[in-house]
């Protein structure tokens, strides 16, 4: 694969930016990416100082917050770390100083043809030895300190990310933007880079100090130092940077995106489908074909590709300039030989090399810091991502409310999901009223909008127009947490958490998590009691555990103790799909114990349940009906009915009315709806 290149540049102004009219959007194609950057139109200078200053200022703000945050987490460890870094930065110059001292003693003895001053020489050697030993111990110790500080910082940012991500609501999640790469490691890496950069800057200062000291005449030192750093300066400033640019990046290469998709199939979630569908070879072949089609197109980060572009002239100039220090002391030794000794030349030579590397390192670290800051900025921006579902101010339930359950109504509701095709409405002018305490069954074909209806009633999404009225007020006016405390949902989308079964059920009502009687009762109502008797660890069983256990260079078939230990590692416990649904249902029943539930939405939770299980679940839910409005969604009759179709309610009425009408509902009821039959309830569709 060749160097990253720009395929085509600057097709200017796809669309002018709305916010800042004096900017334009420039589209770059970098390898597999399309990058849109906001460029300020600069009339005279190619280099925009204002923009550069602004980018530094915003970068500095992020950096300041990062430092304050991290120092706040563990000030003592970081103080120790800073001290060790200062030591580290002085290490080279102290070693060089001690070495120069030794060389000078030898040089004097060589020129005077005397034996070198043994005592001074031994002292210098011993000092150097002691210093090296101290350095080694400090390095060892600082690694330990660093690792402790790192763990604390990682935990802090894990916490931060957990909170930021858990607060994303469903509409926000549909944005489909990549943020998986934002890990808790980023801030620590940025902080490490900052420390490294500071260490290098300190080392540069000490090296320059040494140089001035070595060349006693101030002029030599200054000129020599300048000549040493010209090369890294040229190299650094000839680079272009994207890190500070406002930008939108998208991988547009279809082969690359396909490779990514195929690669994601390696996740264990897909293993069942892949093995049972015998798809291994297909995936490998398709992956290789996509890779072949992709060819040499760079997949490197677009930011890196952008930085790597530079003309060969820069390299040429830099290599010539790199020899300036050598030429300088050759010239001095010719013109003014008395001002130089061999030791001075040797020390300067060494110092020049060190300084050049240090400068190179400083620029490298500064580059890394800019990219790190850009990522940390994205991480901090997560907390600014305001939820799309805004919280209301009113308490729920309102003062005037029925004890029988929630009163719900939809008034001319229109709704389409974010990202769905223009004009494609999931619900289209739907009006509907459900009285407190009613039990309503919603039937309809796949995709007719039944689940959407439930999602709007539970405020997982907000309507585009019209309104959802709950107990006489618009649902958007209520405090979300209080509203949700009054709602219980049971759908097939609910999953078991990788926690113990006890916790899985208990989380329906966390306040009573430790109440075994309530948990067992909820398990019984959900039809999950029998499952518990089959599991070795009963309620303590963790289904889908997150585990970290592996063997390296150990085969299970080996006849060794280690192989036996590998074999004995804890195995995953599996239960059937229907059993999972029963456990999830138990969580909903547990929720009823809060005695705050006023609305229950049950959306097709029984697809994997046997008929008996389904009937039992339905009966248990109905038994818990007092004080609750209930909605049951099903599509089981979908192929027979048009009760709800294309986002519209086609047939509406009480159970008796609809049966009397002898329409679609009548037909499907006679065939399949026996499970919902009840003398005590009057379901509506």
Applying CB under 6 A, the residues found at the interface with ligand ATP are: 417, 420, 426, 444, 446-452, 635
d(CA 190, CA 551): 33
What is the enclosing helix (H) or strand (E) of 613? helix 611-623
The least distance separating ligand ATP from the CB of residue 669, rounded to whole angstroms, comes to 18
Q: Tokens for 545, please give them.
A: 């555990």
Pairing mode of beta strands 487-491, 599-603: parallel
Nearest distance, CB of residue 267 and ligand ATP, angstroms: 21
Burial class (CB in 10 A: 0-12, 13-18, 19+), 674: exposed
Provide, rounded to whole angstroms, the least separation between the CB of residue 452 and ligand ATP: 3
SS3 118: helix
CA gap 168, 388 in Å, rounded: 8
CB of 635 to ligand ATP, least distance (A): 3
Output 447 or 578, the one with its CB closest to ligand ATP.
447
Question: Please, which residue, 340 or 460, has the CB nearer to ligand ATP?
Answer: 460
Q: Are 501 and 575 in contact (CB under 8 A)?
A: no
> Which residue lies nearer to ligand ATP by CB, 369 or 631?
631
Q: In the complex with ligand ATP, which residue's Cβ is closer, 146 or 451?
A: 451
Residue 402 vs 492, nearer CB to ligand ATP: 492
Shortest spacing between CB 530 and ligand ATP, in angstroms: 28
Dig out the tokens for 215 from the structure: 């060349």
Q: Hey, which bits of 477-536 come out as E strands?
A: 487-491
| Residue 654 CA: distances (Å) to CA of 272, 408, 665, 682 | 44, 16, 11, 6
Backbone torsions φ then ψ of 145, nearest 5 degrees: -60, -45
CB of 262 to ligand ATP, least distance (A): 24
Beta carbon of residue 683, minimum distance to ligand ATP (angstroms, whole number): 17
Q: Between helices 324-335 and 218-237, what is the axis angle to 10°?
A: 160
* Residue 232 CB, nearest approach to ligand ATP (Å): 52
Is 152 or 494 the residue whose CB approaches ligand ATP more closely? 494
Q: How far is the CB of 426 from ligand ATP (least distance, A)?
A: 4
Q: Which is nearer to ligand ATP, 363 or 637 (CB)?
A: 637
Distance CA 658, CA 377 (A): 59
**Residue 611, CA distances (Å) to 617, 665, 671, 674 in order:** 10, 21, 14, 10
- Pick 156 or 636: Cβ nearer ligand ATP: 636
Give me the least distance between CB of 641 and ligand ATP, in Å please: 12
Chain centre to alpha carbon of residue 404: 44
Give me the helices (H) in 389-500, please: 450-457, 480-485
Among residues 7, 37, 35, the alpha carbon closest in space to that of 302 is found at 35
- DSSP of 90-142: HHHHHHHHHHHHHHHHHHHHHHHTSPP-HHHHHHHHHHHHHHHHHHHHHHHHH
Instruction: Report, in Å, the least distance between residue 167 CB and ligand ATP.
Output: 19
CA distance 616 to 631: 17
Characterize the bridge pairing of strands 644-645 and 648-649. antiparallel
Do 240 and 306 meet the contact criterion of CB atoms below 8 Å apart? yes
**In the bound complex, what is the minimum distance in angstroms from residue 651's beta carbon to ligand ATP?**
15
> CB 618 → ligand ATP: shortest distance, Å?
18
In the complex with ligand ATP, the residue whose CB is nearer, 447 or 653, is 447
CB-CB contact of 226 with 264 (8 Å): no
Residue nearer to ligand ATP on the CB measure, 198 or 491: 491
Q: 251 - beta bridge partners?
A: 33
Could you tell me the two tokens for 485? 């405390």
The residue among 468 and 519 lying less far from ligand ATP, judged by its C-beta, is 468
Could you give the residue ranges of the DSSP H alpha helices within 215-252? 218-237
State in angstroms the smallest separation of the CB of 673 from ligand ATP. 16
The reply to whether omega before 307 is within 30° of 0 (cis) is no
Distances in Å between the Cα of 430 and the Cα atoms of 113, 426, 465, 496, 636 are: 107, 10, 10, 33, 22
- Cβ–Cβ < 8 Å for 450, 633: yes
CB of 508 closer than 8 Å to CB of 587: yes
- Minimum CB distance to ligand ATP smaller for 192 or for 603: 603
**How far does CA 7 lie from the centroid of its chain?**
30
- Residue identified by tokens 């060892």 is 140
Nearest residue (CB) to ligand ATP, 344 versus 452? 452
Q: Which is nearer to ligand ATP, 102 or 410 (CB)?
A: 410
């Amino acid at each position: 694969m060749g160097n990253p290149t720009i395929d085509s540049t600057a097709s200017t102004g796809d669309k002018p930016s709305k916010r800042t009219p004096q900017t334009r959007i420039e589209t770059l194609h970098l390898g597999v990416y399309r990058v849109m950057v906001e460029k300020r139109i600069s009339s005279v200078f190619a280099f925009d100082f204002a923009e550069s200053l602004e980018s530094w200022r915003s970068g500095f703000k992020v950096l300041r917050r990062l430092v304050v945050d991290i120092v706040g987490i563990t000030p003592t460890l970081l103080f120790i770390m800073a001290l060790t870094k200062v030591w580290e930065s002085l290490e080279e110059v102290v070693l060089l100083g001690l070495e120069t001292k030794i060389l000078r003693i030898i040089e004097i003895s060589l020129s005077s043809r005397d034996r070198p001053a043994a005592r001074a020489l031994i002292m210098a050697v011993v000092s150097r030895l002691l210093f090296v030993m101290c350095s080694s111990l400090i390095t060892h110790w600082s690694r330990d300190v660093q690792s402790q500080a790192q763990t604390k910082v990682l935990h802090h940012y894990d916490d931060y990310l957990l909170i930021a991500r858990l607060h994303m609501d469903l509409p926000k999640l549909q944005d489909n933007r990549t943020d998986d790469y934002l890990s808790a490691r980023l801030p620590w890496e940025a902080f490490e880079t900052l420390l490294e950069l500071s260490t290098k800057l300190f080392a540069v200062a000490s090296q320059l100090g040494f140089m001035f000291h070595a060349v006693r005449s101030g002029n030599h030192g200054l000129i020599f130092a300048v000549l040493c750093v010209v090369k890294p300066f040229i190299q650094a400033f000839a680079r272009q940077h994207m890190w500070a640019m406002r930008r939108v990046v998208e991988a547009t290469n279809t082969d690359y995106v396909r490779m990514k998709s195929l690669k994601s199939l390696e996740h264990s979630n897909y293993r069942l489908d892949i093995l049972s569908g015998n798809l291994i070879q297909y995936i490998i072949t398709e992956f290789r074909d996509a890779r072949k089609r992709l060819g040499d197109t760079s997949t490197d980060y677009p930011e890196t590709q952008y930085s790597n572009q530079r003309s060969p002239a820069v390299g040429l100039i830099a290599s010539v300039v790199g020899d300036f220090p050598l030429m300088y002391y050759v010239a001095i030794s010719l013109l003014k030989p008395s001002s130089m000794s061999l030791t001075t030349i040797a020390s300067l030579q060494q110092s020049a090399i060190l300084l050049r590397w240090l400068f190179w390192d400083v620029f490298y670290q500064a580059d890394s810091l800019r990219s790190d800051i850009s990522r940390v900025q994205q991480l901090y921006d997560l907390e600014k991502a305001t939820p799309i579902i805004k919280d209301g101010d009113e308490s729920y339930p309102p003062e005037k409310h029925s004890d029988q359950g929630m009163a719900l109504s939809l008034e001319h509701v229109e709704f389409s999901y974010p990202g769905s095709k223009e004009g494609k409405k999931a619900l289209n002018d739907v009006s509907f009223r459900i009285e407190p305490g009613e039990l309503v069954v919603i039937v309809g074909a796949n995709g007719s909008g039944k689940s959407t209806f439930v999602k709007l009633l539970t405020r997982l999404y907000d309507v585009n127009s019209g309104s959802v009225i709950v107990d006489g007020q618009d649902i958007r006016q209520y405090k979300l947490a209080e509203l949700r405390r009054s709602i219980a949902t049971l759908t097939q989308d609910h999953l078991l958490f990788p926690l113990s079964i006890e916790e899985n059920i208990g989380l329906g009502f966390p306040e009573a998590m430790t109440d075994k009687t309530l948990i067992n009762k909820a398990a019984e109502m959900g039809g999950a009691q029998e499952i518990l008797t089959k599991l070795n660890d009963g309620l303590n069983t963790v289904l889908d555990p997150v585990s970290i256990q592996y063997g390296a260079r150990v085969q299970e078939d080996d006849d060794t103790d280690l192989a036996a230990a590998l074999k004995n590692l804890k195995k995953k416990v599996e239960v059937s799909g229907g059993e999972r649904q029963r456990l999830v249902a138990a969580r909903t029943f547990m929720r009823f114990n809060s005695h705050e539930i006023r609305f229950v939405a049950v959306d097709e939770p029984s697809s994997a349940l046997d008929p008996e299980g389904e009937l039992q679940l339905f009966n248990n839910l109905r038994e818990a009906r007092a004080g609750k409005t209930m909605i049951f969604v099903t599509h089981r009759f979908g192929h027979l009915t048009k009760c709800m179709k294309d986002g519209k309610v086609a047939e509406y009425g009480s159970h008796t009315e609809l049966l009397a009408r002898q329409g679609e509902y009548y037909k499907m009821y006679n065939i399949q709806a026996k499970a919902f039959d009840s003398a005590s309830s009057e379901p509506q569709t």
